[in-house]
Homo-oligomer: A and B are copies of this chain.
Amino acid sequence: MEEKVLIFGHKSPDTDSICSSIACEILDKKNGKQFTKAVRLGNINKETQYVLNYLGLEIPELIEKVEEGQMVVLLDHNEFNQSVNGIEKAKILSVVDHHRIANFETSEPLFYTCKPYGCTSTIIFEEIKQLGYEIGKTEAILMASAIISDTLLLKSPTTTEYDKKALEELAKIANIDINEYGLEMLKAGTDLDDFTEEQLINLDAKNLEKDGQKFVIAQVNTISIEDVLKRQEKLEDAINKEIENKGLSLFVFGITDILNSNTEIIALGSKSEVVEKAFGKKLENNRAFLEGVVSRKKQLLPAIDKNI
C-alpha cells in the first residue's frame, strides 16, 4: 500500500481529469501539504498530450487498482464504476467534482466539494485562492487547459460565470493568448486517424447504471463529423462487441463538431429507442443529428437518464 495520497480523475481520462490531478500535486508540493501523487486510470488522449508537451510535463503513472486502505482523492468523478478498481475498500479523503452524485458511498465523513460548474479545475482554482496559495504559470496553464477542454472554450452550455472568471484570471497568470492556445489544444484532440474503432469508442466513455441497467455514453470531438461517419460500419461492430461483453442495454456514441457545436449520435442496444424519446428524433441508420448539442453532462445524459 502506498503511503502517499493518490489523486486521480475518472477512467478514460480527459484533460480535466489529468490536468487537475497534476495541478493539485504541484500545489500540494509547493505548499507542504500531504504527499499527493497524481496518477491516471487510462490512456491519455491527444488533447491532453498536447498540454503535457506544451508544458514539458511527464505523463502520470497508470494504475490498475488500489489496495484496501489506500488513501485517495477523487477528482472529476465520484461514481465507483468510473473510478479505480478497489475503490470500495480505499480510504477516500476528499472528492472535488462537478457531476451528479451516484453509486458513491463511504463509511466515514470526508471532504467533498461538488459545484455545478463547467469544470473541476474551476472549483480547485476557487479553493486555492481561498487558501491564499500562489499559482505558478504551469499550474495556471494546466487548470486553464482543463477549463478550455470541458467548456469547449467557454461555448458549451455547461459553462458558468465562475468558469469564465477563472479562465480569465488563469490566462493572466499564464500570460498567453487563451483563444489561440485553446483552439490549437482542442484541434489536437480531434485527430482521430491513429485510433482503431475499439479505441475510438473508449476514448471518452462513461459507464452508467440505472435500476440495474448498464449503459454507456461515449463521445469524441471532431472538426468533421462526416470524416468519422466514414467508419460507421466498423464503429458499430466495435460497439456491438462492447454491448455483448459488458451486458449493456444501450451504447450511445456522440460525435461532436466542436467548431459548429452539434452532435451526431450512433445508438445501439436493446434500448436504443430510448434516444428517440429522449431527443424527439427518429433514428435513421442507427443515427440522429442533434443540433446545438455538445455536452454529455448537461444534454445527453439527463435526457437519456430520464427515459431509460
Contact = CB atoms under 8 A, between A and B. Distances in A.
Contacts of A113: 112-114
Contact of A112 (B105, B114, B302, B306): B114
Contacts of A101: 101, 104-106, 110, 112
A114 B102 CA distance: 15
A130 B116 CA distance: 19
Interface in A252-308: 297, 302, 305-306
A91 to B, nearest CB: 12
A111 B117 CA distance: 9
Nearest to A100: B106
B297 A107 contact: no
Given A101-B101, A104-B101, A105-B102, A111 B114 contact: yes
Interface string A90-129: 0000000011111111111111111111000000000000
Contacts of A107: 100, 102, 302, 305-306
A75 to B, nearest CB: 14
A116 B107 CA distance: 12
Count this chain's copies in the assembly.
2
- A interface, by DSSP: helix, strand, loop or mixed? loop
Nearest to A112: B114
B116 A297 contact: no
Contacts of A100: 105-110
Nearest to A98: B109
Most buried by B among A107, A113, A297: A107
A275 B130 CA distance: 43
A107 B112 CA distance: 17
A98 B111 CA distance: 9
A302 B117 CA distance: 33
A267 to B, nearest CB: 20
A106 B105 CA distance: 13
Contacts of A110: 100-101, 114, 116
A117 B99 CA distance: 24
A113 B116 CA distance: 12
A134 B105 CA distance: 35
A87 to B, nearest CB: 13
B297 A109 contact: yes
B105 A115 contact: no
A103 B103 CA distance: 9
A253 to B, nearest CB: 22
Contacts of A98: 109
Contacts of A105: 100-104
Nearest to A113: B113
10 contacts: A100-B109, A101-B101, A101-B106, A107-B302, A107-B305, A109-B116, A109-B297, A112-B113, A112-B114, A113-B114
9 nearest interchain CB pairs?
A109-B116, A112-B114, A102-B105, A100-B106, A101-B106, A98-B109, A100-B108, A107-B305, A99-B109
